[in-house]
A and B are shown apart, each in its own frame.
Chain A
Amino acid sequence: MEKILIVAELKKDEVNKSTLENLSYANSLGMETSAVLIGTGIKKQAEVLVEYGAKTVYVADDISLKFHGTFSYTRILQEAVSLSEPTQLWFTASEFSADLMPRIAARLGVGAISDITKLELKGNDIRAYHPAMSSKVIQECLFEKDEIRVLSMRGGIFDISEAKQTAPNIVKLSIPNTDLRAVIRDVVIETTEGVDLTEANIVVAVGRGVKDSEGVERVRPLVDMLQAGYGATRGACDAGLMPHGAQVGQTGKNVAPQIYIALGLSGAIQHVAGMTGSKLIIAVNNDPEAPIFNVADYGIVGDLFKVVPILTEEFKGANSTPISTIEI
């Protein structure tokens, strides 16, 4: 019987959606699931993991774990694996797991498959599908050896479902000493206000065509009215027009909303790779040759600042009161 150990990822100190998706999927297949939870002041989150079906939750809760120190976190995961003896170790594909997953795999002497968008699981037989070449191809990957399998899944590929809960079994893990070879002194936490890009039904994204901060604000009424996530290209983020948390693309966030409205962005392959899963793409760009028009379902060649007010007028969001005018 497969034993899956799921590495919980937290968002604002709460277990994030992707973690629950992984947990739900493993449970739905009838596998024995456990979870490992690492951080500061988060041990109550173990209850959430139990609620979604984790048989055992391994917890490391300490002030020294406030920041994601690779050495500490890898050491803790190593202990969790040793105690739990899983056949598989699951992560969600994120900046958090980008370092950690390969490091623990290497420590365990096993291989790993990252950023999986489709998973076929028949007992020990795993077929994992991983987008490559900026999503121009999909690799069908298999593990070669019979040893612990380490995987990271993209968020949004599984549904969250109810699970049969068992009596909570919480195991406390040892807290390693901080490895002085790498010390995170501070983290400037970027507050991303507004709708989460990876959870939004509609994403409005801007590129450098939005020109400046004023331009960004001129688009905001449309974003608010649609209750959309407000995303951006790497270029717009690098230019300081939008926060880095808004970046959509291979090295930013992968989004797959119902509607993607691309404004003043050319459609570089690294950006497109991050939104190609959108159901419907609408693009506005001054340049008729912009590659975005090769993937957009509907395209307008023109000035986005002329188009946006018309869209804002004519679209009606689910909640017709724009967020920016709600009195608090």
Chain B
Amino acid sequence: MNIAVLIKQVVDVELNIRVKNDALVEEGLTYVISNWDEIAIETAIQIIESVGEGTVTLISVGPDRVQDALRRGLAMGADEAVHILDTAIDGSDSYAYAKLFAKILEEQDYDIILGGKQAQDTDAGLTMSMLAEFMDLPQVMNVSKIVSLGKEQCTFHRRGELGNELIDITLPAVLTPNDSLFEPRMPSLRGMMQSKKKPIETKSLSDIGVDPDLVGKSGKKVKVNRLIQPDQRKGGQIFEGEEAETTKQVLALLAKNEVGKENLFT
């Protein structure tokens, strides 16, 4: 069974994020594999372990630093990686990325294509479904449990609007895991050593036969015009001490607060 995992390296959103002149302040930022993509890598590795054979190939798009993300994925246990490096891809939106990945994956023969349900930097959640459509493949998003895995068909639980769905899907298929499907493993020391020997192939758009018009400035459908920093909530009054005391203090303040008074004390 051959699995492709599409991963995105993103700014670490746990850090202090600042916006200046309508754009992100890059200074002081570090990069990580998008959280949901890490779960996708873990899912791929666990599926291969379960099935007993196969390969996990990571694919990522971006500048040189993306190699760090790919190395980490290899250290977790993926077998090989492909890095698409081309400035023409800059400024792509979900649609353009989906078109690009579809072109890349069409040439290959993957049984399962995994990815994160949304990227931690954009929170758009569009790419994987668009990809599934461009490739005319069935999709199961938000997979909450792997029920059975077969060469041609798999069964999953997924969390849908109505509840827990039991779904049979034929392969090849596109999947995104739920937050809780698996906890991504920390790469072991051995994993890190081994990752150095695993191949990362770097390719440009012309290497993969993709017209630059498909992506970037020409290919994208949606533009992010600017970033806005919403008013940050600040911590208010915090009380420490005997609960009987502190609770009474907070209650007194709530009774005087407009919103508190109206909702909690009428």
Contact = CB atoms under 8 A, between A and B. Distances in A.
Contacts of B250: 282, 298, 300
B160 A96 contact: yes
Contacts of A318: 266
A122 interface: no
A31 interface: no
Interface string A64-88: 0001101100100000000000000
Nearest to B137: A181
Contacts of A294: 233-235
Contacts of A182: 138-140, 167-170, 173
B138 to A, nearest CB: 4
Contacts of A296: 235-236, 238
Contact of B247 (A134, A250, A311): A311
> Which of A137, A140, A188, A296 has the most CB atoms of chain B within a 10 A radius of its CB?
A137
Contacts of A181: 137-138, 169-170, 173
Interface string B131-159: 01110011111100000000000000001
Contacts of A297: 236-237
A140 B238 contact: no
A281 B168 contact: no
A269 interface: yes
B262 interface: yes
Interface stretch (B46-54, B58-66, B117-125, B187-195): B117-125
B239 interface: yes
Interface in B204-229: 220-229
A143 interface: yes
B223 A142 contact: yes
A280 B257 contact: yes
B57 to A, nearest CB: 23
Contacts of A226: 264
B254 interface: yes
Contacts of B164: 187-188, 190, 244
B260 to A, nearest CB: 6
**Mostly helix, strand, loop or mixed at chain A's interface?**
mixed
Interface residues of A, number: 91
B14 to A, nearest CB: 6
A234 interface: yes
Nearest to A185: B166
Interface stretch (B82-90, B93-101, B107-115): B93-101
B111 to A, nearest CB: 14
A95 B159 contact: yes
Interface string A249-261: 0110000001100
Contacts of B14: 269
Contacts of B93: 111
B248 interface: yes
A299 B226 CA distance: 34
A130 B124 contact: yes
Given A98-B142, A105-B126, A293-B235, A189 B163 contact: yes
Contacts of B166: 184-188
Interface in B1-40: 11, 13-14, 17, 19, 24
Nearest to B230: A138
B247 A98 contact: no
Nearest to B14: A269
Contacts of A310: 243-244, 247-248, 251
A162 interface: no
A281 B167 contact: no
Nearest to A304: B243
Contacts of B233: 276, 281, 294-295
Interface stretch (A19-27, A112-120, A169-177, A213-221): A112-120
Given A259-B260, A297-B236, A142 B161 contact: no
Given A143-B222, A295-B235, A301-B238, A137 B162 contact: no
A207 interface: no
Contacts of B226: 139-140
B123 A115 contact: yes
Contact of A185 (B122, B127, B168, B260): B168
Contacts of A317: 264
Interface string A234-249: 1000100000110000
B159 to A, nearest CB: 6
Contacts of B168: 182-183, 185
A139 B227 contact: yes
B220 A144 contact: yes
Contacts of B137: 181
Given A137-B230, A140-B227, A258-B263, 14 more contacts: A98-B125, A98-B129, A103-B129, A106-B130, A106-B133, A132-B121, A132-B122, A136-B230, A137-B227, A181-B169, A187-B162, A190-B164, A294-B234, A302-B240
Give me the 7 closest cross-chain CB pairs, A-B, nearest first: A111-B221, A106-B133, A102-B129, A306-B243, A297-B236, A299-B238, A182-B138
16 contacts: A95-B161, A98-B142, A103-B133, A105-B130, A134-B123, A136-B17, A139-B227, A141-B225, A258-B262, A298-B236, A298-B253, A302-B240, A306-B243, A310-B247, A315-B264, A315-B265
